[in-house]
Copies of this chain bind each other. A is one copy, B any other.
Amino acid sequence: MAPKWRELADKLADEIRRGEYAPGQQLPQIRELVAEGAGSKSTVHQAYKALEVEGLVTSSRGHGTVVRQQVPLKRLGIARYDKAKWRDSDEVAFIADRVASGRSYRRNEQTQTVNLVEAPPAVADAHGLPEGAQVYARARLVKEGDQPTHTLTSYYRPEHVEGTRIVDPTPGPAGRGGGFRVLYDAGYEIDHMRESIFARAATSDEVKLLQLPAGEPVVELHRTTYTASGTVVEFAIGVHAASRFAWEYDFKVPDSAKGEKGQE
Copies in the complex: 2
Most chain B beta-carbon neighbours within 10 Å: one of A79, A190, A249, A256:
A249
A9 at the interface (CB under 8 A from B): yes
Q: Which applies to chain A's interface (DSSP): helix, strand, loop or mixed? A: mixed
Instruction: State whether A198 and B242 are in contact (beta carbons under 8 Å apart), knowing that A10-B204, A54-B203, A78-B254 are contacts in the complex.
Output: yes
Bound CA span A50–B200, Å: 14
CB <8 Å contact, B204 and A252:
no
A229 within 8 A of partner (CB): no
**What number of A residues sit within 8 Å (CB to CB) of B?**
59
Bound form: Cα–Cα A204–B11 in Å: 11
A188 to chain B, nearest CB (A): 12
A247 interface residue, CB < 8 Å from B? Answer: yes
Segment at the B interface, from A24-32, A130-138, A211-219: A211-219
Tell me if A4 counts as interface (CB < 8 A to partner B). no
Given pairs A190-B253, A198-B247, A201-B215, 4 additional interface contacts (CB within 8 A): A84-B257, A196-B247, A217-B217, A263-B263
